[in-house]
Amino acid sequence: MITIALAGNPNCGKTTLFNALTGATAHVGNWPGVTVDKREGVCKKGDKPVTVVDLPGIYSLSPYTPEEVIARNYILDSKPDCVINIVDSTNLERNLYLTTQFLEMDVPIVVALNMTDELDKRGDRIDSKLLEERIGVPVVRISAFTGYGIKDLINRAVAAAGRPRKGISVLAGTSISDAVSQVADRMNDETQSPVFHAIKLLEGDSVERSVHKKSASYADKLLSEFDDPLFGNDIEALVANARYDYITKHFSPALYRKETGNTLTRSEKIDRVLTNKWAGIPIFAAILFVIFHITFSEDFLFLGAMGLLGRAWGAEWVCFEGNAYFEGLFGSSAGIMSPGVMLANLLNGITGAVQGGVSGGLEAAGAAEWAVGFVGDGVLGGLFAVLSFLPQILVLFLFFSILEDSGYMARVAFILDRIFRRLGLSGRAFMPMIMGFGCSIPAMINTRTLADAKERTSTVRVIPFFSCGAKLPILTAMAGGMIGAFGVGDAGLITFLMYLAGMITAFVAIIAMRSTTLRGELTPFIMELPNYRMPGFKSTMLHLWDKCKHFIKKAFTVILASTIIIWFLSHFSWNWTFLSDEVMDGSILASIGMLIQPLFTPMGFGAQLNSAGWVFAVAAITGLIAKENVIATFGTLAASVVSGFALDEALEGVDAVEALIGATGVSGAGCIAFILFNMLTIPCFAAVATARGELPKGKFGWTLLFWAITSCSVSAMIYTVGQFVWPIAIWLLVLAAAATAVVIWNKKNPLNKEIKSA
């Protein structure tokens, strides 16, 4: 079977084309750097099946970034039968820069003019026949998005694969062309693609020079006598300039732009606002807040908040809360619920009914007490506790997918680059971080786009702090439970603040690492901003499914198995007798929980809690397997350890947490500390395994230690501050007053003035 490689600039639609050709569902994103590694599939769209390889996006074939090295080595070493060079036709000239480099290799090339649907919409036109004549290789108009031209493309690529091609250079006729042909002639017997290698050697490409040492010194000899009137002997600049000149002279005539009076494109207009130096970050924060509000808030229209204000000012008429209109599925005493919460409640109603029905049915059929408890609490309680968060995860990820696909996230990376530089990171690190909100595993793999090993290590370490989908149930359930138990707060706000706390921890940790153990150089961050695009329905849904399928799969495998084990350990004593709910404290699990409980005392959810408090310790430990386990553990255990609930009563998610808060007497600060502990501590097994693979040798053990220490110290700090707000505030005031006094005294002290003036 012949092999066809897809190559092109970042964001030109390689992965979309790859998916269209192979029927794969690889991750498509409207930002550069989504595909870091190459990927293979089989395409049956043409007349015969071919192997298709999706390469990472590159702007040139110099060895400056890992992507460039992967793509270049693949084409030179693995020798695909044909390279399809995908060109974003809405950005023709810039994309053809890479094409001029591919032309220099001894490999059949077919140019695919992609995004022609968008080009048509703009009213621009490309004469592909003319372009084909000028470039000298087949040029096919396609739209990876709509499927237009794809079959034709594959057939022409297969045809081209059968005809060997010699590399040609667009540098002919420039001052360097003699040197190029002399070096290339020398290298003819030594290697394939001599023209390509010759140009790279003359440009001073370090990788090439170390491989072809003899020819390199020959090139040096030629260069010592070389002097261009414009560029001197800066060959790299000369070559780049010559390529652009050639493109404008010979390729650009194929492009007809629609005449418009307005010089700003739509994207540029939007960008004037969204990437504004001052407004950019506040807008991003506002967008995030709105997303969290729509997903998590129980008070969607701020009716509850308005009521509180109204009461304070004596305006009773704005007090909607408690209004019977809003009670029920769509509202609560707090106001009208957000769409995310409504969906969650709907699902909870269904799962609650199923759980109640099954338990009730078993009881009615005369099943033993342990069997009813096992099925109701153990299996269904744990499973539903996790699944009940699926609606909110879906809503949140839907928004993230839209932000990503529309091209906005790439802007955020650009806006943040300025700040990131101060922290010691490049804007490139933002992409893996944002991916971390979905799942740490692909995010850690994506750090391969970071060229510097130390920057990479520090980014891998903080990725878990960008709370992933599996940690979301912890946030939501704890926030909801806290509001129920303490009677104050807003779930959307608490969740938002927790995400923020994770991010702040990440940035503080980055600063600390980059200025101590992981100090290093920063490479410049070059990123082209993609055009804004309406996210496609199919790609958004694929994206969503991609993010949720792991969650669902995990729920029915790892989580289900863990809940069953937890149920058994919590309902049997060491001498293997079944325990009823009243004497759960004698169970195997309870005694293990109580043993490790003191570890969590400084964080507010340890030994200071009442009898059922060991559940928090157990949940924190089970979370190390998978973070969903934290809430599954609550779901499995709550109805049993909290007295006053019937066996068939559904108690999961928010209700379970609320009951546990009441029974254990954990404080609000303890709850927040618990969330932060789970968010910042060692991530799930799968993520730990990934980190192990991605980190350089010798860094893995330190990374585990880093996670353990960060989570313990941050949550202990939050607990201490929250628990002792007043004493701490008073001490801080005293300290501040003392410091001020010292400063003032120093200023007044004549001795000091003398020292300064001396």
Residues that bind Mg ion (CB under 5 A): 15, 34-35
* Token representation of residue 551: 């969650």
Give me the phi and psi of 744, to 5 degrees please.
-60, -45
**Smallest gap, in angstroms, from Cβ of residue 539 to ligand GDP?**
5
**Smallest gap, in angstroms, from Cβ of residue 120 to ligand GDP?**
10
C-beta separation of 506 from 466 below 8 A: yes
Nearer to ligand GDP, 7 or 344 (CB): 7
- 3-state DSSP assignment of residue 111: strand
Pick one of Mg ion, ligand GDP, none as the site partner of residue 341 (Cβ within 5 to 8 A by kind): none
Provide CB contacts within 8 A for 451, sequence distance 6+: 64, 65, 66, 523
Rounded to whole angstroms, how far apart are CA atoms 43 and 157? 12
Stretch that binds ligand GDP, among 140-148, 304-312, 452-460, 566-574 (CB under 6 A): 140-148
Stretch that binds ligand GDP, among 29-37, 199-207, 318-326, 564-572 (CB under 6 A): 29-37
Give me the residues paired with residue 4 across strands.
52, 82
Check residue 458 for interaction with ligand GDP (CB under 6 A): no
Cα-based distances in Å from 671 to 188, 472, 482, 595, 674: 71, 15, 8, 20, 5
**Smallest gap, in angstroms, from Cβ of residue 87 to ligand GDP?**
11
Rounded to whole angstroms, how far apart are CA atoms 456 and 69? 17
Nearer to ligand GDP, 28 or 559 (CB): 28
**Region 469-528 residues binding ligand GDP, contact defined as CB under 6 A:** none
Nearer to ligand GDP, 16 or 690 (CB): 16
Check residue 540 for interaction with ligand GDP (CB under 6 A): no
Among 85, 143, 351, 640, indicate the residue that binds ligand GDP (CB under 6 A): 143
Rounded to whole angstroms, how far apart are CA atoms 740 and 55? 60
Among 484, 536, 602, 665, indicate the residue that binds ligand GDP (CB under 6 A): 536
Nearer to ligand GDP, 438 or 492 (CB): 438
Q: Which residue is nearest to ligand GDP (CB)?
A: 13
**Region 404-433 residues binding ligand GDP, contact defined as CB under 6 A:** 405
Among 125, 186, 250, 533, indicate the residue that binds ligand GDP (CB under 6 A): 533
Check residue 13 for interaction with ligand GDP (CB under 6 A): yes
Check residue 95 for interaction with ligand GDP (CB under 6 A): no
Give the strand pairing for 255-256 and 125-126: antiparallel
Provide CB contacts within 8 A for 605, sequence distance 6+: 613, 616, 617, 620, 664, 666, 670, 671, 673, 674, 677
Handedness of CA 299, 304, 306, 312 (dihedral sign): negative
Check residue 623 for interaction with ligand GDP (CB under 6 A): no
**Region 378-407 residues binding ligand GDP, contact defined as CB under 6 A:** 405
The secondary structure element, H or E, covering residue 42 is strand 39-43
What's the burial of 696, exposed, middle or buried (CB within 10 Å: 0-12/13-18/19+)?
exposed
Q: What is the identity of the amino acid at 16?
A: T
User: If binding means CB under 6 A, how many residues of this protein chain bind ligand GDP?
Assistant: 24
Among 101, 114, 275, 476, indicate the residue that binds ligand GDP (CB under 6 A): 114
Nearer to Mg ion, 15 or 636 (CB): 15
* Token representation of residue 306: 């308005």
Cα-based distances in Å from 304 to 64, 311, 400, 486: 55, 11, 28, 16
**Smallest gap, in angstroms, from Cβ of residue 214 to Mg ion?**
38
Check residue 608 for interaction with ligand GDP (CB under 6 A): no
Cα 73–chain centre separation: 27
C-beta separation of 74 from 5 below 8 A: yes
**Smallest gap, in angstroms, from Cβ of residue 41 to ligand GDP?**
13
**Smallest gap, in angstroms, from Cβ of residue 540 to Mg ion?**
16
**Smallest gap, in angstroms, from Cβ of residue 93 to Mg ion?**
22
Cα-based distances in Å from 437 to 167, 429, 468: 45, 14, 4
* Token representation of residue 120: 């048509």
Pick one of ligand GDP, Mg ion, none as the site partner of residue 79 (Cβ within 5 to 8 A by kind): none
Pick one of ligand GDP, Mg ion, none as the site partner of residue 115 (Cβ within 5 to 8 A by kind): ligand GDP
Nearer to Mg ion, 15 or 100 (CB): 15
Nearer to ligand GDP, 9 or 457 (CB): 9
Give the strand pairing for 39-43 and 50-54: antiparallel
Among 14, 197, 448, 456, indicate the residue that binds ligand GDP (CB under 6 A): 14
Stretch that binds ligand GDP, among 28-36, 334-342, 365-373, 438-446 (CB under 6 A): 28-36
Check residue 664 for interaction with ligand GDP (CB under 6 A): no
Give me the residues paired with residue 141 across strands.
113
* Token representation of residue 110: 């077919």
C-beta separation of 19 from 40 below 8 A: no
Check residue 449 for interaction with ligand GDP (CB under 6 A): no
Q: Which of 398, 742, 750, 714 is nearest to 543 (CA)?
A: 398
C-beta separation of 156 from 83 below 8 A: no
Stretch that binds ligand GDP, among 137-145, 150-158, 291-299, 316-324 (CB under 6 A): 137-145
Check residue 118 for interaction with ligand GDP (CB under 6 A): yes
Q: Which of 715, 503, 504 is nearest to 620 (CA)?
A: 715
Among 539, 563, 636, 640, indicate the residue that binds ligand GDP (CB under 6 A): 539
Handedness of CA 576, 580, 586, 587 (dihedral sign): positive
Among 11, 85, 99, 426, indicate the residue that binds ligand GDP (CB under 6 A): 11
Pick one of ligand GDP, Mg ion, none as the site partner of residue 144 (Cβ within 5 to 8 A by kind): ligand GDP
Check residue 39 for interaction with ligand GDP (CB under 6 A): no
Check residue 442 for interaction with ligand GDP (CB under 6 A): no
Among 22, 36, 55, 57, indicate the residue that binds ligand GDP (CB under 6 A): 57
Pick one of Mg ion, ligand GDP, none as the site partner of residue 117 (Cβ within 5 to 8 A by kind): ligand GDP
DSSP-assigned states of every residue in 136-197: SS-EEE-BTTTTBTHHHHHHHHHHHHTS------TTTTSTTHHHHHHHHHHHTTT-S-HHHH
Q: How many other C-beta atoms can be found within 10 angstroms of the C-beta atom of residue 451? A: 18
Pick one of ligand GDP, Mg ion, none as the site partner of residue 143 (Cβ within 5 to 8 A by kind): ligand GDP
Stretch that binds ligand GDP, among 10-18, 73-81, 214-222, 271-279 (CB under 6 A): 10-18
In the block, residue with structure tokens 């409504």 = 342
- 3-state DSSP assignment of residue 679: helix
Nearer to ligand GDP, 86 or 584 (CB): 86
CA dihedral 284, 288, 294, 298 (to 10 degrees): -130
Nearer to Mg ion, 43 or 247 (CB): 43
Nearer to Mg ion, 26 or 717 (CB): 26
**Smallest gap, in angstroms, from Cβ of residue 26 to Mg ion?**
7
**Smallest gap, in angstroms, from Cβ of residue 207 to Mg ion?**
24
**Region 729-748 residues binding ligand GDP, contact defined as CB under 6 A:** none
Pick one of ligand GDP, Mg ion, none as the site partner of residue 118 (Cβ within 5 to 8 A by kind): ligand GDP
- Using CB under 6 A, list all residues that contact ligand GDP: 10-16, 28-30, 34-35, 57, 114-115, 117-118, 143-145, 405, 533, 536, 539
